[in-house]
Structure 1
Amino acid sequence: MTYFNDFDINENIKKAIKEMGFEEPSPIQEKAIPEILSGRDLIGQAQTGTGKTAAFGIPLINQITTAPHVQTIILTPTRELAIQVSGELQKLSKYMKIRTLPIYGGQSIGHQIRALKQGVQIVIGTPGRIQDHLRRKTLRLDKVRAVVLDEADEMLDMGFIDDIENILKQVNTDRKTLLFSATMPPAIRKLSRRYMNSPVTVSINKSEVTAPSIDQVYFKVLERNKQESLCRILDSKDPELGIIFCRTKKGVAELTEALQARGYLADGLHGDLTQSQRDAVMKKFRDSSIEFLVATDVAARGIDVNDVSHVINYDIPQDPESYVHRIGRTGRAGKSGEALTLVTPREMKHLRSIEAEIKMAIPSHAVPSIEEVVEKQQQSWKNLITDQLNDDEDLSLFNALTEELLEQYEAKDIVRSLMKLNFSSAIGESDDGYNFGETGGAKGMIRFFINVGRNVNMSPKVLIEEISNAVGIPGKAVGRIDIFENFTFVEVPEDVAPFVYEALRYSRINGARVNLEPAKPRPKRENRPRPARPSR
């Protein structure tokens, strides 16, 4: 096992690391620090939450002198990440006479110019604001000894590739270049070939990111009551601080509004917010004035809050890399965390691809029932009521109405009614699925009609695999199957029927677009069409 004391670094840095509470390096730190200390260019493939800031920060600080000029420049995609990296480097250099400066848009450029004139050794900034200073000639890069591209793939996604190239062209050519990225798209590889000198590549596998401090679970939910399912999960899990990921800006706005209407302390973060609005939301999240931050992937870039107890994927991520990146925002600094993913029937295949990429099966949990939520919340509701009873506030205003109600009804019935009235938004609606009516299936089964049959090479094996993969049930749970030339009937258990309905309703089987609908009940004397016989 390697310890920080094993590295050939300044004793003042070791002292700062010990004060920060770290003894042994993370996997990316263990692999990257010796390579950077040796003077090599380096490509580090690692997600947020793996300790990559210290991986490049420790060796760079170790090699910086007290000369009052910029010796290291670090490019980040967002101001939040710039501030975070700056804070981390300040802690690491606490006992060394080194000044770091984050520079980014939204802050007074005059303040930044004055700080640069006083002399700083490390500049951390967004590409746009770095470019502004280069144009004003308030920042010189001719004495820079190291350049770091942090979260390079995200800078690429945000359209900074041209800015990065313009900056690299102005940096002292006798330098080392360090590139850190969660993924390695072609444009990033091209950038490394052009501006790096025989770089060594270090990477960590997915399991080192996701385990052991993050518990992962997914919930099968219906598209039609996804919000209701989320609220039940939140009430059951009772997160201390959570980030809820949505796919689109519209989705963030709608979900934030729905959560606020139901009394949750939530706020949204998306690309349409101004910088001041974004800062206000982040401040509320950091000081726990809100419990839930609802965000898109782009808006959440650079967020680093150690106390996030839960990451909730309201919309499943677009790719496995995004999934790993998202869930890495919990379980930070040695703390435990939970990653919860809501999966609709049509997204089951997508979930399977994520499981294949991270090389583990994510366990499935059922969405809590209303009864389970009520049971979980009873103690907190009781506390609210007793706190009110113990309050010194004068309640005589309600005396007349109270007496009138007690004359007409039993006290326990009044309390039950008031409880339901007050906490109905927390309980939610009781609509858990579809009412398919009578479909002619066996007892406990729902019978569906599918508009294709042997004409698309339908077979029991093909249909069972489609249902099993889409809903996550064993094939033997599928009931009777009747396949005809141009249509098919299939029976499935009543409890999974809504998921089968949403998964296969407008899907493809053997490449053919299919439509699935609840079957009509069989007539008492049903003249069933016979399967077509092949001609002799």
Structure 2
Amino acid sequence: MTPDKDSNDYSPIAGIHPALASALAAKGYSELTPVQLAMTTGDHGEADLLVSAQTGSGKTVAFGIAIAPTLLGSSERFDVAAAPLGLVIAPTRELAIQVQRELDWLYAGAGVRIATCVGGMDMRTERRALERGAHLVVGTPGRLRDHITRGALDLSAVRAVVLDEADEMLDLGFRDDLEFILGAAPEERRTLLFSATVRRGIAELARTVQKDAVRIETTASTEQHADIDYQMMLVRRDEREHAIINTLLESDSSSALVFCHTREAVRHLTARLANRGFAVVALSGDMAQSERSNALQSMRDGRSRVCVATDVAARGIDLPNLDLVIHADVPSNPETLLHRSGRTGRAGRKGVCVLIVPENRRGAAQRVLGFAKLTATVRAAPGIADIEARTRRRILDAAVSAAEPDDAEADFVAELLDRVGPERIAAAFLRQQHAAHPVPEDLRPLPPEALRTGASGRDRRSADKPASAREPRGPDMQNGVWFTISLGRKHRADPKFLLPMICNAGGVTKRDVGAIRIDATETRFEIAADKAAGFAEKLRQPGSLERGIKIAPVGEANEKPKTAKPKFKPGGKPGQKPGHKHQAPSADRGKPPKHKGRKPKRPD
């Protein structure tokens, strides 16, 4: 007898197909998320479903629960695999592979066989898997259409189709592919459409591919995700990347995701963070599938702590313990903001979402937050003092929480104390802890009025002088050797940006760098005479500098440059030699490329 749903004895697992109930119980699903619960308690039967649910709410398990009666009927196990009974369409490779993994354990007790068909993988391997038979097929629109066109994928027996992240598939231009795929499936099928929002395009798609769909909304549109703390971090326009570095250093997060608008911005920021000593990986649409899989695995097993990604590449990925999301670029619309932010604060975990907002973009950020019905705390970027205070607390906590020496360690600990002494041991521990963390960036503080609600950008312009208007860093050194780096005002060069790059590239410290003089297309700087030879030798080693940047001596020792000679011919592009195709980083980096009539390549 089924217990009454209103009684205290009712378990949500009781409303799930028996073939899945044991798998959910083994995973510890004593409670279901709202969208999962809606799949068990509703009276929708075999109807089509149009479902809007919050990102990170467990949609994969939800639609797995919903289609189980359609695929299995009253049986607890599948028959021999032949033509697929179910089809799940996802916008990206990563999401499709993640869905396949979730459905694998959910349907393991039913003896399921799942085939994946995603861009970037070997089509011959996928074709052989389809020929061997599969109960479920999970794939991306472009690859699924290719297999149907070539006769490798037969959808004639499909009973249920799921469109996961349907809003993203429309944004990526997959509507024609979706209609082609669904046209190859039987008309008498169930179609479940899952989307974070049901805007006009989604509603039109639902009317086209569904019949009398039951509308299910599990989260009120005005409800802010309670597990995400939103912060709007105001920064000066030339210190955006410095603020990202300091935010990562200030955070206690073990895993962070940084979003950029473009692939080029991802490459640039990844290089900057790697040069600062962060364990960082990149994730963008132009990477091979093996590279993307390795990057995600590196984050999952803890070898990397930071992932810099584009929106499309990170769509739907689930990283464990992800508790910090940083928007390096202000999201262009509320849907992007919600989808990016939804990577954290999942399954009851708390998360922090930080929008890095240049002062001139404050209004745009506030509009996007308003449209998304979100409220954010306005704050300044953490400074060196904030980060050093946090580091001291971490070091003290690590020392206090350390266990007493065990029997195997006791003798050596006593020998260390006897030969070295507690002060030197503590100093060695302190230096080791400092060496394990990158050095924070020195940020100029914003005026107090800049952080007040409603502060105007026009009132703060006098406090935001460009780098070229400030005095050069440091006095001239005696007997210093002058070098030049191929970054200038046109590249938004700034001493705070250049100094760590110079030190990392040449293996010197800040004390070894003298004056820094920024010109239009290049910057001249001094290196202490006793360090200059080693500095020049280190520059000749591969990988010492980011791609496209060049450092070279200006003159002999004791000789200062008389005038700033133009490095490039008039009319040439900044950072580009005549006849040389490679261009150094510029102020325009990060803007989307112009396709000039070419159709963008499909992300999957």
Please confirm whether the aligned pair reaches a TM-score higher than 0.5, indicating the same fold. Answer: yes
Q: Hey, what does 2:97 align to over in structure 1?
A: 83
Unaligned runs of 5+ in 2: 73-77, 400-408, 413-422, 467-604
Q: Give matches, 1:257-276, under 5 Å.
A: 257-276=271-290
Which amino acid in the other structure matches residue 204 of structure 2?
K
- 1:291 aligned to 2:298? no
Distance in 2, matches of 1:77 and 1:109, equals: 18
1:358 Cα deviation after fit: 4.2
Q: Hey, what does 2:63 align to over in structure 1?
A: 56
Give a deviation string over 1:159-181, Cα, whole Å, max 9, x none. 32211111111101111111112
Q: Secondary structure at the match of 2:84?
A: coil
1:185 Cα deviation after fit: 4.6
* Closer/same/farther in 2, CA of residues 431 and 235 from structure 1, 3 Å limit: closer
- 1:197 aligned to 2:224? no
Which amino acid in the other structure matches residue 452 of structure 2?
I
Q: Secondary structure at the match of 1:64?
A: helix
* Closer/same/farther in 2, CA of residues 491 and 230 from structure 1, 3 Å limit: closer
Q: Secondary structure at the match of 2:182?
A: helix
Q: Is the Cα contact below 8 Å between 2:54 and 2:196 reproduced in 1?
A: yes
- 1:473 aligned to 2:452? yes
Q: Hey, what does 2:580 align to over in structure 1?
A: none
- 1:227 aligned to 2:227? no
Q: Hey, what does 1:372 align to over in structure 2?
A: 386
Q: Is the Cα contact below 8 Å between 1:45 and 1:202 reproduced in 2?
A: yes
Q: Give matches, 1:177-216, under 5 Å.
A: 177-205=191-219, 210-216=224-230
TM-score (norm 2): 0.63
Give a deviation string over 1:365-420, Cα, whole Å, max 9, x none. 332221121222246679999xxxx9x9xxxxxxxxxxxxxxxxxx99xx99x979
- 1:14 aligned to 2:28? no
Distance in 2, matches of 1:250 and 1:243, equals: 17
2:438 to 426, 432, 444: 426
Distance in 2, matches of 1:426 and 1:498, equals: 28
2:36 to 10, 19, 29: 29
1:290 Cα deviation after fit: 1.1
Give a deviation string over 1:472-531, Cα, whole Å, max 9, x none. 5267x99xxxxxxxxxxx977xxx9647x89xxxxxxxxxxxxxxxxxxxxxxxxxxxxx
Q: Give matches, 1:318-467, under 5 Å.
A: 318-378=332-392, 426-432=438-444
Give a deviation string over 1:26-79, Cα, whole Å, max 9, x none. 222233444585111111123430111122111212332323331111111112
Which amino acid in the other structure matches residue 430 of structure 1?
D
1:245 Cα deviation after fit: 0.8
Q: Hey, what does 1:532 align to over in structure 2?
A: none
Which amino acid in the other structure matches residue 137 of structure 1?
G
Distance in 2, matches of 1:195 and 1:229, equals: 46
Give a deviation string over 1:232-291, Cα, whole Å, max 9, x none. 221111320010011222221221111111101112222222333222322222222211
Distance in 1, matches of 2:372 and 2:90, equals: 26
- 1:38 aligned to 2:38? no
Unaligned runs of 5+ in 1: 393-410, 435-443, 446-467, 479-489, 503-536
Q: Hey, what does 2:262 align to over in structure 1?
A: 248
* Closer/same/farther in 2, CA of residues 431 and 8 from structure 1, 3 Å limit: closer
Distance in 1, matches of 2:397 and 2:215, equals: 55
- 1:301 aligned to 2:310? no
Distance in 1, matches of 2:276 and 2:89, equals: 41
1:115 Cα deviation after fit: 2.6
Distance in 1, matches of 2:386 and 2:379, equals: 13
* Closer/same/farther in 2, CA of residues 382 and 171 from structure 1, 3 Å limit: same
Q: Secondary structure at the match of 1:113?
A: helix
Distance in 2, matches of 1:64 and 1:121, equals: 9
* Closer/same/farther in 2, CA of residues 17 and 284 from structure 1, 3 Å limit: same
Q: Is the Cα contact below 8 Å between 1:213 and 1:331 reproduced in 2?
A: yes
Work out the percentage of aligned pairs sharing the same amino acid. 33
Q: Is the Cα contact below 8 Å between 2:14 and 2:21 reproduced in 1?
A: no
Q: Secondary structure at the match of 1:322?
A: helix
RMSD: 3.5
Distance in 1, matches of 2:245 and 2:206, equals: 45
Distance in 2, matches of 1:317 and 1:305, equals: 21
* Closer/same/farther in 2, CA of residues 219 and 491 from structure 1, 3 Å limit: closer
Q: Hey, what does 1:236 align to over in structure 2?
A: 250
- 1:310 aligned to 2:317? no
Give a deviation string over 1:437-464, Cα, whole Å, max 9, x none. xxxxxxx99xxxxxxxxxxxxxxxxxxx
1:154 Cα deviation after fit: 1.5
Q: Hey, what does 1:438 align to over in structure 2?
A: none
Q: Hey, what does 2:186 align to over in structure 1?
A: 172
Distance in 1, matches of 2:221 and 2:133, equals: 42
Distance in 1, matches of 2:359 and 2:220, equals: 26
Distance in 2, matches of 1:326 and 1:336, equals: 15
Which amino acid in the other structure matches residue 378 of structure 2?
S
Distance in 2, matches of 1:335 and 1:84, equals: 19
